[in-house]
Amino acid sequence: MDKIYFSISEVADMFHINQSNLRFWEKEFKQLKPRRNDKGTRFYTHEDIATIKKIIFLIEEQKLTLAGAKRKLSQRKELVDKQQEIAERLRAIRDELKGIANAL
């Protein structure tokens, strides 16, 4: 059964980033709003995780600043989705080609 909510430590481990980055991004990106319980513990949904994935793509792969990533996410979310999908497909093709080259 697939989990519905993830803790901040699980999400940080998933993306190999610090929990403090997630807390900071939560303040910077209005699209990232994890649920909280009465104690203030964050619970990230699959939608939150997809948003974090987009933020990482924009910052690390597209080399955008935080301001640029915020602007792009708020203005052209569909374009970011397509670019991210293309990058993931190309990465998978590259890995497959490396595997074939190693087999030869």
Q: What is the CATH number of the domain that holds 41?
A: 1.10.1660.10
In this structure, what token pair is assigned to residue 63?
């080399």
| Residue 2 counted as domain residue | no
* CA pair distance 85, 91, nearest whole angstrom: 10
Q: Long-range contact list for 52-59, CB < 8 A, 24+ apart?
A: 52/11, 52/15, 52/22, 52/25, 53/15, 53/84, 54/80, 54/81, 54/84, 55/25, 55/29, 56/15, 56/17, 57/83, 57/84, 57/87
Which of 13-17, 29-33, 65-69, 75-79 shows the lowest per-residue confidence on average (mean pLDDT)? 75-79
- Evaluate if residue 1 carries a pLDDT over 60: no
Helical ranges in the chain per DSSP H: 8-15, 19-28, 46-56, 66-75, 77-103
Per-residue pLDDT averaged across 6-30, rounded?
A: 95
The answer to whether residue 15 sits within a structural domain is: yes
| Domain assignment present for 98 | yes
Residue 83 has pLDDT above 90, yes or no: no
**pLDDT grade, residue 15 (50/70/90)?**
very high
Residue 80 lies in a domain: yes
Count of the separate structural domains present in the chain: 1
What percentage of the chain has pLDDT greater than the value 70? Answer: 98
Q: Would 47 be classed as within a structural domain? A: yes
Q: Domain containing 46: what range?
A: 8-103
40 assigned to some structural domain: yes
Query: In 3D, which of 39, 7, 47, 5 has the Cα closest to residue 23?
Result: 7
